[in-house]
Amino acid sequence: MSPLSTYDSLYDLLADTDLAPWIDPLRATVAPAILDSNNGHLDKWLTAIEALPTPIHSSASAGALAKEESFTLHSSLTSPAIQIGQPQDLDTAQAANLPDTLHQFRPWRKGPFNFFGTHIDTEWRSDLKWDRLLSGISDLKDRLVLDIGCGSGYHCWRMAGAGAKLALGTDPFLLYVMQYLAVRKYLTEPPVWVLPFGIEGLPPALPAFDTVFSMGILYHRRSPIDHLYELRNYLRPGGELVLETIVVDGPHGYSLVPDQYYAKMKNVWFIPTVETLVQWVRRCRYKDIKVIDVSTTTIQEQRSTDWMVFESLKDFLDPSDPTKTIEGYPAPKRAVITATAP
């Protein structure tokens, strides 16, 4: 069965929601966004998804050999690593081959994940961000949730673990969609889908979501105010925005526009102070704005690993002064704020 058939169950779920008018346009765009992408790695990724092993034992059946159709994988969407099965679900040969198959999806940036005992130590400990924000946001139980720029979908799995009725991510980077589909091969039940396009691929207005996340996106937008207005278009009245972005210290009204690179990223445009960020959100007529966390990013949270072998935060900081980026700007510090759509 094609891994893309997983989107059929998304359309079924949407049919009972205010998002139903979106079903036909989505149907027409999801598969082409993947299959017609001209991405030279696509065949390799689809082959690797196919090659991911079929479990032989059901760990939930107390060690008994389960019939194929009655498999219940032990999984967890509430642990720091999204847990898919257990080591005893695979035979020796399958277990030996699994790391190579999962390496086909490198670099793994957002996670961690654990496939049958193979721990994918991603560049980011995305669980730490989740832990910082969860107690400050509205309970996700039964909510329709949109996560703009969701990467591998790690946080979407955690949203489902927190009880969301729908955790819908979007990301234009095809590798991350493939990482989602690799997890999805096993975790077929949770209401989690990652759409293969960016915010531009969403309808201009779809004010039906209860919570919209925009995390790690705002500083990449050339027009942050337009982004905040855009996000409002997806929230129902009274819905909650969860916004996470890099901030700096500075005087009233300040926002840093890096000369060219910031922490070796060339697509960083505006880095406000927390106060400026709140002001932007207020100017866009959100209400009940709360700053729920401000934390400096550490090299324990973002680092190179076997699963992401390229440079990471340590290489983006001044070796003689880690409070500065290599370009001399303040090192990354991130704020999370919540706000209510009018």
- Minimum CB distance to ligand SAM smaller for 90 or for 192: 192
Both tokens assigned to 147: 């996560």
Q: Amino acid letter at 197?
A: F
Q: Considering the complex, what minimum distance in angstroms separates the CB of residue 201 from ligand SAM?
A: 8
Q: Find the distance separating the first CA and the last CA of the chain, reported in whole Å.
A: 44
115-123, 196-204, 249-257, 301-309 -> range binding ligand SAM (CB under 6 A): 196-204
Interaction pattern, residues 198-237, with ligand SAM; x per rule: CB under 6 A = xxx--------------xxx--------------------
- Minimum CB distance to ligand SAM smaller for 56 or for 292: 292
Using rule CB under 6 A, residue 22 touches ligand SAM: no
* Residue 177 phi, psi dihedral angles, 5° rounding: -65, -35
112-120, 171-179, 291-299, 330-338 -> range binding ligand SAM (CB under 6 A): 171-179
**Residue 334 forms beta bridges with which residues?**
246, 295
| Dist. CA 191–CA 290, nearest whole Å | 28
| Dist. CA 82–CA 241, nearest whole Å | 24
Q: Amino acid letter at 329?
A: Y
Interaction pattern, residues 76-115, with ligand SAM; x per rule: CB under 6 A = ----------------------------------x-----
Dihedral in degrees, nearest 10, Cα atoms 264, 269, 275, 280: -150
Report which residue's Cβ sits closest to ligand SAM: 198
Q: How many residues bind ligand SAM (CB under 6 A)?
A: 17
100-108, 193-201, 269-277, 295-303 -> range binding ligand SAM (CB under 6 A): 193-201
Using rule CB under 6 A, residue 171 touches ligand SAM: yes
Q: Considering the complex, what minimum distance in angstroms separates the CB of residue 149 from ligand SAM?
A: 3
* Among positions 37, 61, 87, 173, the unique one binding ligand SAM when judged by CB under 6 A: 173
- Minimum CB distance to ligand SAM smaller for 60 or for 174: 174
Helix (H) or strand (E) holding 215: strand 209-215
Secondary structure (3-state) at 324 = strand
Pairing of β 144-148 and β 166-170: parallel
Q: Considering the complex, what minimum distance in angstroms separates the CB of residue 104 from ligand SAM?
A: 19
Secondary structure (3-state) at 244 = strand
| Dist. CA 208–CA 191, nearest whole Å | 16
59-67, 71-79, 164-172, 276-284 -> range binding ligand SAM (CB under 6 A): 164-172
Closest C-alpha to 209, from 178, 245, 170, 236: 236
CB 258 within 8 A of CB 329: yes
Using rule CB under 6 A, residue 145 touches ligand SAM: no
- Minimum CB distance to ligand SAM smaller for 32 or for 238: 32
Secondary structure (3-state) at 230 = helix
Q: Considering the complex, what minimum distance in angstroms separates the CB of residue 215 from ligand SAM?
A: 3
| Dist. CA 199–CA 210, nearest whole Å | 17
Identify residues 125-144 at the interface with ligand SAM (CB under 6 A).
Answer: 126
| Dist. CA 259–CA 273, nearest whole Å | 17
Pairing of β 75-76 and β 82-84: antiparallel
- Minimum CB distance to ligand SAM smaller for 98 or for 281: 281
- Please give the residue ranges that form the binding site for ligand SAM (CB under 6 A): 110, 126, 148-151, 170-173, 176, 198-200, 215-217
